[in-house]
Amino acid sequence: MGLKVSQHQIPIVSDEENKQFVDSTINSAKVVIFSKTYCPSSESAKKVLSNYPIKSDQYQVIELDNNPNSNIIQNYLKLITGAKTVPRVFICGRCIGGGDETIALDKCGDLVKLLAECEALQ
């Protein structure tokens, strides 16, 4: 199980390029988290997901706190998910919510079902 974290220098780009980045990221991996390294809810969601053997090439975490485009990205996430807050967790291209929702799905057994249906598990 591995985790791909985006931490390279990112240039400021247009709204459209940020939308394309978000859309392509969501569609490029079965599990995607838009997160901030200092956010307790983000850490909780990542911790819950770390308990599952998610295929490393299908798990991507985008840390927004060092991204100059974070506000644009979060505004777009609000447009497509209804919430601007992080984390925003996507499984198979569908937003399941944030940290609390990820924990709740884990506790009731639905998270493992979603990951299995999505073929995200090793």
Q: How far apart are CA 89 and CA 3, in angstroms?
A: 14
User: Residue 19 belongs to a domain with what CATH number?
Assistant: 3.40.30.10
pTM here is 0.88
The confidence score (pLDDT) of residue 14 equals 81
Q: What's the domain count of the chain?
A: 1
Contacts 24+ apart (CB under 8 A), 100-106: 100/41, 102/44, 102/45, 102/48, 102/49, 103/44, 103/45, 103/48, 106/48, 106/51
Q: By the 8 A CB rule, do 105 and 15 touch?
A: no
Low-confidence ranges of the chain (pLDDT < 50): 1
Whether 63 is in a domain gets the answer yes
Whether 122 is in a domain gets the answer no
Crossing angle (nearest 10°) for helices 99-108 and 110-117: 90
The confidence score (pLDDT) of residue 8 equals 52
The confidence score (pLDDT) of residue 66 equals 84
Residue 32 belongs to domain spanning: 4-117
Whether 35 is in a domain gets the answer yes
Whether 67 is in a domain gets the answer yes
